[in-house]
Structure 1
Amino acid sequence: MFTPHLLTGRNILVTGGGTGLGKAMAARFLSLGADVHICGRRKGVCDETAAELMKSHGGRVTSHGVDIRDSAAVDAMVDGIFAEKPLTDLINNAAGNFISRTQDLTPRGFDAVANIVMHGTFYVTHAVGRRWIAGQQRGNVVSIVVTWVRNGSPYVVPSAMSKSAIHAMTMSLATEWGRYGIRLNAIAPGEIPTEGMSKRIKPGDEAGAKTIAHNPMGRVGSMDELQNLAVFLISGGCDWINGETIAMDGAQALAMGGNFYGLRDWSDADWNSARDAIKAQNEKDRAKRG
Structure 2
Amino acid sequence: MSRHVVVTGAGSGIGRQTAVRFAGLGCRLTLVDINAAQLQAASDECARSGAKEVRAVVSDLRTPDGPEDMVAEAWAVAPVDVLVNSAGVYPATPFLSLDADSWDSVLHLNTRAPLLATVALARRAVESGRRASVVNISSGAALRARPGAAPYSTSKAALEMVTKASALELGPYGIRVNAVAPGFVTVNSTANPVTEEYAAAVSGNPLGRRGEPDDIARAVVWIAGEEAAWITGETLRVDGGSSAGAMNLPLHWTPRSMSESGSRDN
The two structures have a TM-score, normalised by structure 1, of 0.79
Mapped to 1, the partners of 2:177 and 2:11 lie a distance apart of 23
**One-letter code aligned to 1:209:** A
Question: Could you tell me which residue of structure 2 aligns to residue 166 of structure 1?
Answer: 159
Shift of 1:137: 0.8
Counterpart pick for 2:84 among 86, 91, 94: 91
Shift of 1:52: 2.8
Q: Secondary structure at the match of 1:71?
A: coil
Question: Could you tell me which residue of structure 1 aligns to residue 215 of structure 2?
Answer: 225
Question: Could you tell me which residue of structure 2 aligns to residue 57 of structure 1?
Answer: 50
Q: Secondary structure at the match of 2:227?
A: coil
Question: Could you tell me which residue of structure 2 aligns to residue 76 of structure 1?
Answer: 69
Deviations 1:44-64 (A, max 9, x none): 321232123213435321100
Mapped to 2, the partners of 1:48 and 1:155 lie a distance apart of 32
Mapped to 2, the partners of 1:141 and 1:149 lie a distance apart of 19
Q: Secondary structure at the match of 1:117?
A: helix
Mapped to 2, the partners of 1:100 and 1:106 lie a distance apart of 10
Deviations 1:75-97 (A, max 9, x none): 22322221221000000000001
Shift of 1:104: 1.7
User: Superposed, which structure 2 residues align to 1:15-26 within 5 Å?
Assistant: 15-26=8-19
Deviations 1:96-154 (A, max 9, x none): 01222211223222122111111212121111111111111100000000123234444
User: Superposed, which structure 2 residues align to 1:135-150 within 5 Å?
Assistant: 135-150=128-143
Larger radius of gyration: 2
Are the equivalent residues in 2 in contact too, given 1:99–1:201 (CA < 8 A)? no
User: Superposed, which structure 2 residues align to 1:272-287 within 5 Å?
Assistant: none
Mapped to 1, the partners of 2:177 and 2:120 lie a distance apart of 14
Question: Could you tell me which residue of structure 1 aligns to residue 244 of structure 2?
Answer: 254
User: Superposed, which structure 2 residues align to 1:1-290 within 5 Å?
Assistant: 9-196=2-189, 200=192, 202-203=194-195, 205=196, 208-211=199-202, 214-256=204-246
- Structure 1 residues 223-232 or 47-56, which shifts more? 47-56
The two structures have a TM-score, normalised by structure 2, of 0.86
Mapped to 2, the partners of 1:132 and 1:159 lie a distance apart of 30
Task: Name structure 2 gaps, 5 residues minimum.
Answer: 249-266
Aligned residues: 248
Sequence identity (%): 28
**One-letter code aligned to 1:160:** S
More helix by percentage: 1
Q: Report the CA distance shift for 1:137/1:56 in structure 2 as closer, same or farther (over 3 A).
A: closer
Q: Secondary structure at the match of 1:196?
A: coil
Shift of 1:201: 5.2
Q: Report the CA distance shift for 1:35/1:108 in structure 2 as closer, same or farther (over 3 A).
A: same
Mapped to 2, the partners of 1:32 and 1:107 lie a distance apart of 43
Mapped to 2, the partners of 1:224 and 1:74 lie a distance apart of 25
Task: Name structure 1 gaps, 5 residues minimum.
Answer: 1-7, 259-290
